[in-house]
Amino acid sequence: MVVGALMSLAAAIGLLRFPDLLSRMHAATKPQVLGLFLLLAAIGLQMRTFWVWPVLLIAWLFQLLTVPVSAHMVGRAGYRTKHLHREMLTTDELEAVVQAATLTGRQDSADSPHTALTARDAAVEPDAWPAEETPGDGSSGK
């Protein structure tokens, strides 16, 4: 229990002390999941009943599956919004992908203004509705 608490404390200190988003994200995810596992194992050993282990296992598996996904999403969003220190990166493997996506997006929008519409936007745009199904005219189009 003490080691798990120390791991969680290290994660909290890392969140406060590290300089940029990517290193804070690393501090928040790695020791936190291990610290939670150690704390849940200590709780399971302390309770000394079999029925508590499946519940603790489900709680830990949920954390094990959601923490990396959320960290990935936060990291990508932070990268795209420039919330990182580029001088701290040793390699930037995402830069080429982002530049290629930016260039492709610019070419699509230059070719046609309606190419950038998503399916949701097309459902909302009045220009995208077929003439016989225009809302508000009271006709069903059939």
pLDDT tens for each residue of the chain, 142 residues long: 999 999 989 999 988 998 888 888 888 888 888 999 999 999 999 998 889 999 999 999 999 899 988 888 888 888 878 777 777 777 777 777 777 887 876 666 555 555 444 544 444 444 444 454 445 555 554 4
Give me the pLDDT at residue 110, please: 56
Instruction: Give the pair of three-digit tokens for residue 129.
Output: 């509705």
pLDDT at 74: 86
Tell me phi and psi for residue 139, to 5 degrees.
Answer: -95, 150
pTM for the predicted model, two decimal places: 0.58
Q: What is the 3-state secondary structure (H, E, C) of the chain?
A: CHHHHHHHHHHHHHHHHCCCHHHHHHHHHHHHHHHHHHHHHHHHHHHCCCCHHHHHHHHHHHHHHHHHHHHHHHHHHHHHCCCCCHHHCCCCCCHHHHHHHHHHHHHHHHHCCCCCCCHHHHHHCHHHCCHHHCCCCCCCCC
Report yes or no: 8 and 39 within 8 Å, Cβ to Cβ: yes
Instruction: Determine the Cα–Cα distance for residues 94 and 99; give it in Å rounded to an integer.
Output: 9
The answer to whether the beta carbons of residues 134 and 125 sit under 8 Å apart is no
What pLDDT does residue 109 have? 58
Q: Give the type of residue at 90.
A: T
Q: What is the pLDDT of residue 128?
A: 46
Q: What is the pLDDT of residue 46?
A: 92
